[in-house]
Amino acid sequence: MGNIRTNANKEISIIPEYLIYSFISLLLIIDFIPNKKVAQIADIQFLYISVLNLLLGIYLYMNHKMISYSIIPILKRSYIAIVYLIFLLFCALSFFVAKNTSLVITRLTELIVIFCLFINFSILLKDKLHLLYRIVFLICISTFFQSGATLYKFTQLYKFAPITEALSSITGNTGNVNIFAASLMIKVPFLLLGITHFTGIKKKFFLVVLFLATTAIFLTGARASLLSLSLVLFIYILYFLKSNSFNKESLIISLALIIPILLSLLISNKSFQKSQNNLRYTSVTNRITQINASDASAQARLNYWGNAIKMSKAKPILGIGLGNYRVESIPYEKNTEDDFTVSLDPHNDFLEIFAETGIINGVLYFSLFVFILFINIKKIVKSTNNNIKTIAVLTIMLLIVYGVDAFFNFPMYRPTMQIFFSLILALTIVNQTVSINENNYKILRIVILPIFISVCVITSYAAFTIYKASILECQILKDDINMKTEGELTGDEIISRLPKYPNVFLTSESFYEYAAIYYYREKKYDKALSNFAKATKINPYSGRINFYKHLIAKEKNNTDSAYIYIKEAFNIRPRNLFFYRYSINLAAVKNDTLEILKEHKQFSEYRKIPEAWVIPATELQKTNFNHQSLIRFIEQGIKEIPNDSTLLKLKKNILTQNYTREGQLFLSQAKFDKAIESYKKALKMDSEDVYTSRNIGLCYYFSGKYKQAVPYFLNALKYTGLNDGSTEFYIGSSYLKSNDHENACRYFNLSKDRNFSGAQQQLNQNCK
């Protein structure tokens, strides 16, 4: 191994192999940790990794002579380690500019956990890279169980549920198809390496696992992973053919890499053919071609990226605070996101770092990837050691998978991805034959390891606090307090368990906000308002706090305050249909037609949906709004959304009501001809309206046109609704006045059967 000398100089690590295998195996378990008690699986995973870091740190401290002391100068002189440390420093400095310092602590804890993991990996793998293929085999076994278990669940669900529902269930224990796909894709480079290295039954096992893994990836329809797979496969085959003589054997091996992927592609497309979903689950090729700016998902990402850039420009030095994008991005999305939808992250880790910690730190973070890429390319080009070249290619493939996912998604705070990010860093640093002859015995034992253990203790405590917050969040979500009137928890219990960090849900709402909602349900309005005030200081951007204040004001019979609060809620989130409905309703109660029209104009600019016109039109009918203006209002909606059945029906109903109202007015004035004209217009709009038919009959009857009245009375009786016998009575009277005694008596009898009071008298007089 090059310049390495003797164990006595402690330049060579003598850490036992079983420790490395055990540590990596324990890390891979995170993909199987159940997540029933926490709101987000990442919370328990970070705690798990931090505890592993601590235990390994204690073991290394007690057995420090096993460690190669040259690891310290290697880390000190590494651009990767230096840039990563400076990056963490800037993340910490953002604490002083953040509105929500609780989120800074939360995210910084998670980043430091991964930094400690990087240090542990570097120590363990120093001089141990000859164990690479055994590590590859461990990762292969993990991938087999991860992909196999998920595909088994998919096939079982497919028997009883729609194919789209079964496809949506392909999430492993991550709860998200994109995260699951990325967690499998980051392991594919190891599988490719194993297939070209092993022979016999091991090679066949790797081929089977590659087939299972890529099938699961294809079925998720995760475009970032599909793109990564294409790039990684191309790069590795190119490297393999270049490193080996271009002959029949190398071509066969290369083909062996492609065949399992082609089979999984074929099976996935057959599954997609049974799906009615023409967006995500049409075909794998279709999913890849959807990577363009016109796609709705891509357009949403572009909006998020644009907002992150705006935030970076607004605070370019130290940003808005690490982790604060979750809350501070919401005002930027008020005109683009519907209802309660918030992005939570910009789906681009690089832009998130720019926005949260400033432009300088964003450049540092991006340069970290550039350094890793060029360092490993240099090793491939200049090194004469094939093992170093292979590890460098593996590192580049891992970097591509992680980098693509970081560009389109959010792997920075996903432990299943961060394990491999720390491995990328460690492999880049320790993949060398040159050691540094420095005696760092004392500094390692007295300073470095104690500090490392102390940091791991702190991160473990912090991660445990985050884990407890996640448990509380999960319990609140199970109570479903937004939809139910009561739950297992109470407002007092939430306040007693209130976490220091994070102080908001994964969905950005404050814990105080939920405590206040519980108090509202319990009718403890003073406590509710007090906690809503605290919640407003943390996240005032969702409008939900204002909505609940409006409900409390209504229950206190303070309509004026309620009206102010609901208008505030709508103005905060003008695309929220829920707020729009309530605000328009209360505006109608206040007879504020100008506010109704104002809110309609604002809402309809963003959302061209029938409700944009149906809700205000329905409420305007309750006010003194001009009927002709109301019709023109509806016609405007029909122009925007042609042939929409809801709007057409609404127009028909309003016209019917207008004509009926006119008819009633003319009938009360004994203007029978004009009343008939109005009623006939109404009947033309709704031929089954029994009251309109009867009223036309009454108009003819009172104007002495008895024969013309009968058909309309009879038409009214064709449908349900007239049960008091009066219509039958008027039919009998019309026949009687037309000298048709037989039919007159028949209908008088029918009227009598319905207990109409005047029918018996007519029977006594005319039907003996």
pLDDT, tens digit (0-9, with 9 covering 90-100), for 363-382:
999 999 999 999 999 999 99
Would you say residue 439 lies in a domain? no
Cβ contacts of 82 within 8 Å, gap of 6 or more: none
Amino acid at 654: I
Per cent of the chain over pLDDT 70 is 94
Q: Give residue 45's pLDDT band: very low, low, confident or very high (50, 70, 90).
A: very high
Summarize the confidence of residues 380-386 as an average pLDDT.
Answer: 90
Q: What is the pLDDT of residues 263-294, one digit of tens each?
A: 998 988 887 776 655 555 554 555 555 555 55
String of DSSP letters for 145-193: HHHHHHHHHHHHHHHHS-HHHHHHT--TTTT-HHHHHHHHHTTHHHHHH
Domain range enclosing 146: 135-291
Per the CB < 8 A criterion, the answer to whether 117 and 416 are in contact is: no
Choose the weakest-confidence range: 296-300, 467-471, 555-559, 659-663. 296-300
Tell me how crowded residue 723 is: count the other CB atoms within 10 A of its CB: 9
> What percent of the residues of the chain are helix, what percent strand, and what percent coil, each to the nearest 5?
75, 0, 25
Residue 359 has pLDDT above 80, yes or no: yes
Of 187, 221, 224, 219, nearest in space to 206 by CA: 187
Distance CA 107, CA 94 (A): 11
Distance CA 100, CA 412 (A): 19
Would you say residue 416 lies in a domain? no
**What is the pLDDT, as a whole number, of residue 438?**
61
Residue with tokens 């850039």: 309
Of 72, 87, 90, nearest in space to 429 by CA: 72
Give the total number of structural domains in the chain. 1
Summarize the confidence of residues 391-397 as an average pLDDT.
Answer: 96
Cα 569 versus chain centre, distance: 22
- Residue 499 structure tokens: 């976490």
Q: Give residue 6's pLDDT band: very low, low, confident or very high (50, 70, 90).
A: very low
Residue with tokens 């980098």: 403
Give the three-state DSSP class for 14: coil
Query: To 10 degrees, the CA torsion angle through 273, 277, 281, 287?
Result: 110
Q: Give residue 8's pLDDT band: very low, low, confident or very high (50, 70, 90).
A: very low
**What is the pLDDT, as a whole number, of residue 465?**
96
Q: What is the pLDDT of residues 108-127, one digit of tens each?
A: 999 999 999 999 999 999 98
Per the CB < 8 A criterion, the answer to whether 532 and 514 are in contact is: no
Distance CA 364, CA 407 (A): 16
Amino acid at 339: D
Peptide bond into 502 cis (omega under 30): yes
**What is the pLDDT, as a whole number, of residue 435?**
60
Residue 362 has pLDDT above 60, yes or no: yes
Q: Give residue 58's pLDDT band: very low, low, confident or very high (50, 70, 90).
A: very high
Task: List Cβ<8 Å contacts ≥24 apart for 690-694.
Answer: 690/716, 690/717, 690/719, 690/720, 690/721, 690/722, 691/660, 691/716, 691/721, 691/722, 692/656, 692/660, 692/663, 694/722, 694/727, 694/730
Determine which helix (DSSP H) or strand (DSSP E) holds 220, and give its type and residue range.
Answer: helix 200-220
Distance CA 74, CA 79 (A): 10
Q: Give residue 93's pLDDT band: very low, low, confident or very high (50, 70, 90).
A: very high
Q: What is the pLDDT of residues 629-644, one digit of tens each?
A: 888 988 898 988 888 8
Would you say residue 143 lies in a domain? yes
Give the DSSP letter of residue 129: G
The better pLDDT of the pair 247, 644 is held by 644
Summarize the confidence of residues 702-730 as an average pLDDT.
Answer: 86
Interior CA angle at 69 toward 64 and 74, to 5°? 135
**What is the pLDDT, as a whole number, of residue 287?**
52
The better pLDDT of the pair 671, 115 is held by 115
Would you say residue 92 lies in a domain? no
Per the CB < 8 A criterion, the answer to whether 410 and 35 are in contact is: no
Per the CB < 8 A criterion, the answer to whether 123 and 13 are in contact is: yes
**What is the pLDDT, as a whole number, of residue 203?**
94
Interior CA angle at 285 toward 280 and 290, to 5°? 55
Per the CB < 8 A criterion, the answer to whether 151 and 212 are in contact is: yes
Across the chain, what does the average pLDDT equal?
A: 89
Q: Which residues pair with 504 in a beta bridge?
A: 510
Environment class of 704 (CB within 10 Å of its CB; exposed 0-12, middle 13-18, buried 19+): exposed
Cα 198 versus chain centre, distance: 41
Per the CB < 8 A criterion, the answer to whether 399 and 420 are in contact is: no
Amino acid at 700: Y
Would you say residue 156 lies in a domain? yes
Residue 696 has pLDDT above 90, yes or no: no
**What is the pLDDT, as a whole number, of residue 2?**
37
Q: What is the pLDDT of residues 148-179, one digit of tens each?
A: 999 989 888 877 777 777 777 888 888 788 89
Residue with tokens 């009375």: 713
The better pLDDT of the pair 36, 88 is held by 88
Per the CB < 8 A criterion, the answer to whether 321 and 101 are in contact is: yes
Distance CA 533, CA 540 (A): 9
Q: What is the pLDDT of residues 217-235, one digit of tens each?
A: 998 888 888 999 999 999 9
**What is the pLDDT, as a whole number, of residue 3?**
39
Per the CB < 8 A criterion, the answer to whether 325 and 346 are in contact is: yes
Residue with tokens 């040159």: 434
Summarize the confidence of residues 461-480 as an average pLDDT.
Answer: 94
Q: Give residue 443's pLDDT band: very low, low, confident or very high (50, 70, 90).
A: confident
Choose the weakest-confidence range: 277-286, 367-376, 591-600, 646-655. 277-286
Q: What are phi and psi of 504, to 5 degrees?
A: -130, 160
Distance CA 91, CA 108 (A): 7
Distance CA 282, CA 144 (A): 26
Helix axes 188-197, 386-408, angle to 10 degrees: 150
Amino acid at 694: R
Interior CA angle at 546 toward 484 and 576, to 5°? 75
Distance CA 173, CA 415 (A): 12
Query: To 10 degrees, the CA torsion angle through 712, 718, 719, 725?
Result: 70
Q: pTM here?
A: 0.86
Cα 222 versus chain centre, distance: 14
The better pLDDT of the pair 463, 71 is held by 463
Residue 507 has pLDDT above 80, yes or no: yes
**What is the pLDDT, as a whole number, of residue 294?**
55
Per the CB < 8 A criterion, the answer to whether 71 and 82 are in contact is: no
CA max distance for the chain: 132
Q: Which residues pair with 612 in a beta bridge?
A: none
Would you say residue 197 lies in a domain? yes
Would you say residue 231 lies in a domain? yes
Would you say residue 217 lies in a domain? yes
Distance CA 619, CA 611 (A): 12
